[in-house]
Amino acid sequence: MAKTENVGIMDLERASRVVQIGDKSVTMLAVSAEGIVRLLKAFPVIQTLMNGGLTESEFSMAAVLDGAPGLAAELIACGADKPGDVETIEHVKTLGLGTQLLLAEGVVDATLEGGMAPFVARLTRMLGGFGVSLPEVSASLTEEQGTT
């Protein structure tokens, strides 16, 4: 087993994934906690998905797109280190669906190292230590969104 090096927090770098688009490569960055909260507030459908609000048979790309127009473009903009940047978001919206999916996959892979299930399990454990459940967090975000 390889020995890991103990480093300081400032030695860590933001996770990234290189995405190949034709003959070009694009580096997509992990979205921070601040970026995730921004997306949760802007797109409540994500909260619904995290809370299991859609059954497996109800879950479809159409359901996600109906509930969150612009989600892919905003996620990709966050992964390009341009969260909320209108010019970037509008440009991403002009890209083909295949390109958008590749870029979004790069962002998700960089952000959720190990995948969605381990991420949700870690988040649930962490929040449970504070006596908070994911549905409570979603309700809080929804209420806050309504007041801003």
pLDDT in tens, 5-17: 899 999 999 999 9
CA–CA gap between residue 94 and residue 73 (Å, rounded): 9
73 class by beta-carbon count within 10 Å (0-12 exposed, 13-18 middle, 19+ buried): buried
Q: Tell me whether residue 40 is in a domain.
A: yes
pLDDT in tens, 33-85: 889 888 888 887 777 766 666 665 555 666 666 666 688 899 999 999 999 99
Q: Tell me whether residue 7 is in a domain.
A: no
Q: Tell me whether residue 58 is in a domain.
A: yes
Q: Tell me whether residue 89 is in a domain.
A: yes
Q: Tell me whether residue 5 is in a domain.
A: no
pLDDT at 95 over 80: yes
> How many domains is the chain built from?
1
Two structure tokens written together for 131: 């006596």
Q: What's at 112, amino acid-wise?
A: L
pLDDT at 147 over 50: no
Pseudo-torsion of CA 60, 47, 124, 146, nearest 10°? 180
53 class by beta-carbon count within 10 Å (0-12 exposed, 13-18 middle, 19+ buried): middle
pLDDT at 121 over 90: no
Q: Tell me whether residue 28 is in a domain.
A: yes
Q: Which residues contact 78 (CB under 8 A, 6 or more apart)?
A: 31, 35, 38, 39, 107
Containing structural domain, residue 75? 15-147
pLDDT at 145 over 50: no
11 backbone φψ class: left, alpha, beta (φ>0; ψ -120 to 50): alpha
